[in-house]
A = this chain, B = another copy of it.
């Protein structure tokens, strides 16, 4: 339902078997972009083939970064683009970075937001000497800003570790997108719902459900769906991608549903559009948020 959930199957992916068999130069050509401007990471991993799982390949690449001298690590980190910077607007990003930042609308910042990001970027860079790095596909603007503010207070050692941890999350996503193989690390989250009509003791079919992000800095409808005969939406509300950490609202149009069933006034029902607000804190979690409703009452909860 949500546009941001990209379909991996539409892309041409290499299999892990193919990668294990490639000449080293081709292997580096295939995976060199996974770690930003750092083909040496892929080179180090090439020598350790074959890999039994995608997770093992990723671990070997991360290990290469961890094993590098601190100066190399810093140079690598410095090679990343700034969030919301002029650079991000000018199109000098790798394709992967562009897609990730675009998904959240970081390329469509208002002047005030742009100024806030610029101020944070400047303060951060002055303190640490490298740009702020975060796996944007796991975040809303709100959670990025919240972490940006917080991480600016880290000590340099802790912050280098935090930046490398985020690079681990970013590259894990890139690798899963590029490589088709067994043992892929879990990168997807899932948001689903289910509407029960406890007036009639049956699934509520035909209920319109809207999902919106209700962040401070970005709000708006992410998508909508209508429940099927089973009271569920045909597909999960979000799937096939990490959930963005942030605040959301599901709006269930039960007034129209019960009016159509002849069970409530169409004019001014006690309950009409029922809003359920909740936070997503785990990008790879499964959030099931059902509604049990009558025209006069409802129950909601985090299910599974």
A residues whose Cβ falls under 8 Å from a Cβ of B: 196, 198-203, 230-231, 245, 247, 265, 268-275, 277-279, 281, 292, 294-304
Contacts and interface: CB of A to CB of B under 8 A. Distances in A.
A200 to B, nearest CB: 7
A230 B301 CA distance: 15
18 contacts: A196-B304, A198-B198, A198-B297, A198-B302, A199-B199, A199-B294, A202-B296, A202-B302, A230-B304, A231-B304, A247-B272, A271-B277, A271-B279, A272-B277, A292-B301, A296-B302, A297-B302, A298-B299
B299 A299 contact: yes
A26 to B, nearest CB: 42
Contact of A201 (B230, B247, B270, B272): B270
A208 to B, nearest CB: 15
Contacts of A304: 196, 202-203, 230-231
Given A302-B296, A302-B297, A270 B274 contact: no
Nearest to A264: B201
Contact of A270 (B268, B271, B299, B302): B302
B297 A201 contact: yes
A296 B200 contact: yes
A119 to B, nearest CB: 23
A304 B201 CA distance: 9
A148 to B, nearest CB: 15
Given A245-B268, A270-B201, A277-B274, A299 B303 contact: no
Contacts of A302: 198, 201-202, 270, 296-297
Contacts of A281: 265, 268, 270
Contacts of A200: 296
A199 B296 contact: yes
Contacts of A196: 301, 303-304
Given A268-B279, A281-B270, A304-B196, A295 B201 contact: yes
Contact of A277 (B268, B273, B296, B301): B273
- The 4 lowest CB-CB distance pairs between A and B, nearest first, are A201-B296, A297-B301, A198-B297, A201-B302
Nearest to A142: B268
A168 to B, nearest CB: 21
Contacts of A300: 297-298
Contact of A292 (B265, B269, B295, B299): B299
